[in-house]
Chain A
Amino acid sequence: MTTETRAATSAQPSRLLSALRTQEGVLFLVLVVIVIVLSLLSDRFLTVNNLLNQTRLFTETALLALPMTLIIISGGIDLSVGSMLAWSAVMLGFSWQLLGLPLPLAVVVCLLTGAIGGAINGALIAYVRVPPLIATLATLAIYRGFSFGISQARSARGFPEEFAFWGQGQVGPFPTQFLILVVLIVAMHLLLARTGFGRWVYAIGNNELAARYSGIPVERVKFTLYTLSGLMAGLAAFIFTSRVTTTRADAATGLELDVIAAVVLGGTSIFGGSGSIIGTMLGLVIITLLRNGLLLTGVKGDATFMVIGLVLIAAVLINNLVRRR
């Protein structure tokens, strides 16, 4: 493949081939290979039902991966997303069941909780100047503590049936949450790739000092990013609660690692400065389909982890190789 690519580029670089040489192009090829292999291994894999069903399972991770992409591009990280999700979910259950708020209002509380959690992160990082890794590692523990403290390790349950629409229902053939996700992917992609705000995010990730001197409101941008991350965690909590019909303080433990893995596999530099929403989504789809496909083929769960780890490394290697040429 590489020789072909080289031959083609030396002659007349066609648009298709140059597109394939981008980060996203490489990922897309990896995805195609994975899909072909898995569909040969299991006849249940490449079916509309299975694929649509997978979107149900990965929406929450995807929602968190959207702002995480921006944050990592800006040179930061948010480890607290799983805890913010749990805290928001617990607040949803708490305000509905214990405080007796109507359910729509409880959902607003859920979203607000996420946004507040994110804003606290943002304030710590942007204004108090705590390094993102440390700030969000701390709030990871604190928000998880809130979840257990507020819920007293009890779960809220017994949500009305129509509440299941957001996590279990569908619109036409599509799972409800998948449609919400698609809208937000488009919005986030436009925000990052087409607006000045997006350019600021890249600029901060490339060189924060230079960004500051060129008049970019670095603090405000960072604060916005982390708040957005919290808001998304609140939204993910709402969909999660609707999907599993209960709110638990231990929900989404360790989810931050899945999210970060998808972003990094998607080609976003962990040192900041480069990356894209499309790449992140490809990364997430690759991980999800691998896990799903391997399970369907009968590979045991623990072996699946290893394969995913290997693919992560391989994808990064291929990426480096292709981009160096």
Chain B
Amino acid sequence: MKLTSLNRSLALLVFASVVAAACAAPPPAAQQPAQQPAQQQEAAQQPAEQLPPGWKAGIPKNPPDRKGKKLVIRDVPKLIGIGYFAATTKGMEEAARELGNIDFKTDAPTEAKIEKQIEFIDNFITQGVDVILFAANDPVAIAPVLKKALDQGIIVVGYDADAQEDARQFFVNQATFEAIGQALIEDMVSQVGPDAEVAIVTSSLTAPNQNRWIEEMKKYAAAKYPNLKFVVTLPSEEDQQLAFKATQDIMKTYPNVKGVFGLSSVAFPGAADAVKQAGKCGQIAVVGLSTPNQMRPFVKEGCVKSVILWNPIDLGYAAVYAARAIADGELKPGATSLKAGRLGELKVNGSEILLGPPFIFNKDNIDNFDF
């Protein structure tokens, strides 16, 4: 009796694993979701004439005429409850108020989890909203649900963190590498002049973003300030202590250095702290990328004059203007600019809307931001 029941349970276990194993086998071609290729074909055929060559971004399928009509916009950031996305929401609400005729709401998971974010977007699709704004927790994982939204004629616009290009129509890019590189150099030159020695504290020597910024910085400096001399680039490996030590080494080894770039939210405060503790505030300029909260004490003391990043309020503001312009047929594939209220004309590059030059946080405005 005991034996048989054990056997039976084992048999069930085996059965379960067989089912599981069967799942592992590749599905026969006939079982493929049959409508998918058809959909793609249709999508490709329909707007083909209007699409500029090389257009890779998505297009909503058979969208209703939304010109001038009331828009239901739902914003799904990576998460809610943090200062950064509270700021983007603030900008979106501002734009929705200005434009009028918009039902706007932000709702997202309270943790930056892609599977929860997918669920929120999925529910908004069912709700039949007009526009979904998103900041992706994962560019690939979010793509299927965004493509589903496009298939149902919903306008899909990203900001802050992009998805695969074909899963959304437009993306509001908060800062290009080029613009950040230029802003860093301009800010440094305004503090130390065009003929100084400068050093860089980066995150790790292989970090892709940092390397692109350094590349753009050097390119811009070579063209405009040929006498600006980059003496050394040291890594800090996302460790504030290492950044601190690297900056100390720089000050020791290169006594003529007039300025230090801190290229991550860790390298920047580390560098600023080293300069401060060496008593060289005002003699050595520290310029870099970080968030207002991280740099507030240094800015208040005057050891750091400015923090370069972008303004998340403007970012959200531009995203809602982009959505309205798409609905009204003004922002189409091939467009080169977007009228965005108080931000003026924003440049559109392919399917990316450029927010423009980075935002500079200083003593006067840093308290307006909490992220």
Contacts and interface: CB of A to CB of B under 8 A. Distances in A.
Interface of A: 42, 44, 47, 49-50, 53, 57, 103-104, 107-108, 111, 155, 157-158, 161-162, 164-166, 168-171, 180, 183-184, 187, 190-191, 195-200, 215, 217, 220, 224, 228, 231, 234-235, 238-240, 243-246, 248, 250-254, 291-292, 295-296, 298, 300-302
A168 B151 CA distance: 14
A107 B29 CA distance: 19
Nearest to A241: B141
The dominant DSSP class at the B interface is: helix
Interface string B3-35: 011101100110111011101111101011100
Nearest to A194: B8
Given A162-B32, A170-B33, A224-B13, A244 B115 contact: yes
Contacts of B13: 224, 228
B126 A197 contact: no
Contacts of B17: 111, 231
Given A231-B20, A244-B114, A195 B8 contact: yes
Contact of A240 (B115, B120, B143): B115
B4 A244 contact: no
Given A157-B140, A191-B9, A292 B115 contact: no
Across the A-B interface, give the 10 residue pairs with the lowest CB-CB distance, nearest first: A196-B5, A197-B9, A107-B24, A244-B141, A295-B123, A157-B140, A169-B33, A246-B141, A246-B140, A165-B27
Contacts of A252: 115
Contacts of A42: 127
A187 B16 contact: yes
Interface of B: 1-2, 4-6, 8-9, 12-13, 15-17, 19-21, 23-27, 29, 31-33, 36, 80, 105, 107-111, 113-115, 118-120, 122-124, 126-128, 138, 140-141, 143-144
A44 B8 contact: no
A158 B143 CA distance: 12
Contacts of A195: 5, 8-9, 12
A296 B23 contact: no
Given A165-B31, A170-B33, A191-B9, A296 B123 contact: yes
Contacts of B118: 57, 244
Nearest to B19: A183
A162 B27 contact: yes
Nearest to A106: B24
Contacts of B124: 295
B24 A104 contact: yes
B12 A180 contact: no
A286 B114 CA distance: 23
A47 B143 CA distance: 24
Contact of A168 (B26, B110, B111, B144): B144
B292 to A, nearest CB: 25
Contacts of A44: 126-128
A248 B113 CA distance: 10
| Listed residue (B1, B12, B19, B122) with the most chain A CB atoms within 10 angstroms of its CB | B12
B114 A103 contact: no
Contacts of A187: 12, 15-16, 19
Contacts of B27: 162, 165-166, 169
A168 B21 CA distance: 19
A321 to B, nearest CB: 33
Nearest to A45: B126
B23 A235 contact: yes
6 contacts: A165-B31, A180-B19, A187-B15, A200-B5, A246-B140, A301-B107
Contacts of A180: 19, 23
A250 B112 CA distance: 10
Given A111-B24, A190-B12, A253-B111, 13 more contacts: A42-B127, A107-B23, A165-B31, A187-B15, A195-B5, A195-B12, A196-B5, A234-B20, A244-B118, A251-B114, A292-B126, A295-B120, A301-B110
Contact of B8 (A111, A161, A196, A240): A196
Given A111-B17, A169-B31, A196 B1 contact: yes
A303 B40 CA distance: 38
B23 A238 contact: yes
Contact of B138 (A164, A197, A244, A296): A244
A245 B20 CA distance: 19
B12 A196 contact: no
Contacts of A190: 12
A197 B32 contact: no
Contacts of B113: 250, 253
B126 A50 contact: yes
A26 B168 CA distance: 45
B24 A108 contact: yes
Nearest to B22: A180
Given A195-B12, A301-B109, A103 B122 contact: no
A292 B9 contact: no
A111 B20 contact: yes
Contacts of A49: 126
A245 B126 contact: no
A199 B108 CA distance: 44
A170 B113 CA distance: 25
Contact of B33 (A47, A165, A197, A251): A165
A196 B6 contact: yes
A245 B140 contact: yes
